[in-house]
Amino acid sequence: MEETVKKKKFNINLPMVIFIIASVIFAVPSITYLIKNKTVYGFYYVWTYFFKFPETKAEMLNNALMFFLLMTILFLAYILIAKKHKNMSIKQIVILVILASILFGVIIPYTSTDVYSYIANGWSAAHYGENPYYTSTGEITDKTGQIDSMFTKVANCWKYETVVYGPLWTLICTGLSYFSFGNIDTALLLFKLLNILVHILNTVLVYKITRKKLFMILYGLNPFILFEALSNVHNDIFIILFILLAIYFTIKKKSLFLAVGCIALATAIKYLAILILPFIVIYSVRNKDIKKRIIYCILCGIEYVVIIALFYLIYMKDLGVLAGLFIQQSKYNRSIMYVIYEYFGQDKAEIIQTLALSVFAVIYAIICIRLLLQKKIRFLQTIRKYNVLLLVFTFILITNFNAWYIMWLIPTMFFLKGKSQETILALCYSSQIANFASFALHSEEQILGIPFLIIMIVGMLLIKAMNMRIERTEDGKIKVIR
């Protein structure tokens, strides 16, 4: 049901003030560093609020506590803003989202250096004319014997790895890096500006799809998304964009082939987007007889494959272009699979992983076939089945889990039940406070994947338990997502 949109004055409430002040405080170290140094080139890969490199255990702990405190304040203010959404206008929400986006966009990436790999791989194609699916940035450096500032901030674990993303993302990286003219600060700015624009577009799309101001706020002001997508500049925000577009074309425009095209574009950035394809197609052909359903599935499959193939043909020499599909799954960190890897060894972990993927594939196929044969299908029912499979894939089957992967759950969370929505928001918060382990110990050792995972799970369960207690105590009156 659409919310009635009335003209309201731009009212500023206390949660909004707290949220903006906390965002400004969060951005101060980056602003200070940029004013002083005029470049991100020498920025060390560590977050410090106290304007100095943490050398003692006390300084490391202080940094961790400061991050924990600011992120907690941001999330509390965010939830309170969401509770007051009825008193806010669409214009007010959009202005808040733009302001928050700019503040988080100023923050220098410090819990991930992935954006520098994006820049470097784009530069290797734009400047050196190399194919990043076959030649790594480390190999280019070794071959030229020159130090290129566009390559030097790539994490060591990726220096000699080829691109792990789809060809559409490589094209975007190439274009942005080309217009940076070899300046890493310009390149980072271009990537951040693009992500900010996509974030604002996603916020508008969420409203166009749901017609709910609450969901605009839950997406647009979510500190997790602001931090991971705009501060750390992860490309997962494009997955959100294309899946939202696919949903928009499915339920608002009734255009199946445009929806399939959007899913193909999402897959051409990260491969997991293929998981939603059958659910969108099956829902769209629900009113046709079984024969026509199958025909449409085949036609959509052909469209999907053709779009993906056209992008890959730009870079393809041989099947080695698909190596990125397997590079990530050969790494173990911050996942349930890593616990198995650590305690049972790599060989057993690989066997368990293969078995788990096989079982998942069978269950996935059975669910899709049953939906295809089902007479009555509702969109909510379809998306909720997909979401369960996505949760399993994300948190159980991936061997190298990273906090920002939770963004994969965002495009479809608005169609879930209230409890499931709350769980995803709890995961957003707990995935950020789980950084406490790395900040407190000032380490990125692989073994830290276990405490990260524990903190994230325990944090989520505590938030859920507190929320359940509130609901019992207040008889269901305090509800954010209902």
55, with CB counted inside 10 A (0-12, 13-18, 19+), is exposed
When pLDDT is cut at 50, 70 and 90, the band that residue 315 belongs to is very high
Give yes or no for residue 9 having a pLDDT over 80: no
Give yes or no for residue 7 having a pLDDT over 90: no
Which of 269, 262, 272, 268 lies closest to 300, judged by CA? 262
When pLDDT is cut at 50, 70 and 90, the band that residue 468 belongs to is low
Which tens digit of pLDDT belongs to each residue from 65-88? 888 999 999 999 999 999 999 989
Output 415 or 58, whichever has higher pLDDT.
415
Specify the pLDDT at position 473: 43
When pLDDT is cut at 50, 70 and 90, the band that residue 10 belongs to is low
Residue 157's SS3 state is: helix
Q: Which of 55-64, 79-88, 306-315, 373-382 has the highest mean pLDDT?
A: 306-315
Which of 429, 424, 406 lies closest to 76, judged by CA? 429
Rg (CA), the chain: 23
| Residue 27 near residue 106, CB atoms below 8 Å | yes
Task: Return d(Cα 212, Cα 392) in angstroms, integer.
Answer: 28
Which tens digit of pLDDT belongs to each residue from 387-407? 999 999 999 999 888 899 999
Which tens digit of pLDDT belongs to each residue from 400-446? 888 999 999 999 999 999 889 999 999 999 999 888 777 767 666 67
Which tens digit of pLDDT belongs to each residue from 331-386? 888 888 888 888 888 888 889 999 999 999 999 999 999 999 998 899 999 999 99
Give yes or no for residue 320 having a pLDDT over 90: no
Task: Return d(Cα 374, Cα 161) in angstroms, integer.
Answer: 45
Output 278 or 146, whichever has higher pLDDT.
278
How many beta carbons lie within 10 A of that of residue 466, not counting itself? 11
Contacts of 322 (CB under 8 A, 6+ apart): none
Task: Return d(Cα 322, Cα 165) in angstroms, integer.
Answer: 9
Is the Cα torsion angle 371, 275, 451, 328 positive or negative in sign?
positive
- Which helix (H) or strand (E) segment holds residue 117: the answer is helix 114-126
Give yes or no for residue 326 having a pLDDT over 50: yes
| Residue 239 near residue 412, CB atoms below 8 Å | no
**Single-letter amino acid code for the residue at 266:** A
Give yes or no for residue 55 having a pLDDT over 60: yes
Asked which of 37-46, 147-156, 289-298 is least confident by mean pLDDT, the reply is 37-46
What is the rounded average pLDDT for all residues in the chain? Answer: 89
The tally of CA atoms less than 13 A away on the side-chain side of residue 48 is 19
Asked which of 35-49, 130-144, 298-312, 369-383 is least confident by mean pLDDT, the reply is 35-49
When pLDDT is cut at 50, 70 and 90, the band that residue 477 belongs to is very low
| Residue 340 near residue 349, CB atoms below 8 Å | yes
380, with CB counted inside 10 A (0-12, 13-18, 19+), is exposed
**Single-letter amino acid code for the residue at 74:** L
How many beta carbons lie within 10 A of that of residue 360, not counting itself? 15
Task: Return d(Cα 104, Cα 195) in angstroms, integer.
Answer: 11
**Single-letter amino acid code for the residue at 2:** E
Q: How long is the chain?
A: 482
Task: Return d(Cα 196, Cα 244) in angstroms, integer.
Answer: 16
In the chain, % helix, strand, coil (3-state, to 5) comes to 70, 0, 30
326, with CB counted inside 10 A (0-12, 13-18, 19+), is exposed
Which tens digit of pLDDT belongs to each residue from 190-214? 999 999 999 999 999 999 999 999 9
Task: Return d(Cα 241, Cα 103) in angstroms, integer.
Answer: 21
Q: Which two tokens stand for residue 341?
A: 């890897």
Output 75 or 330, whichever has higher pLDDT.
75
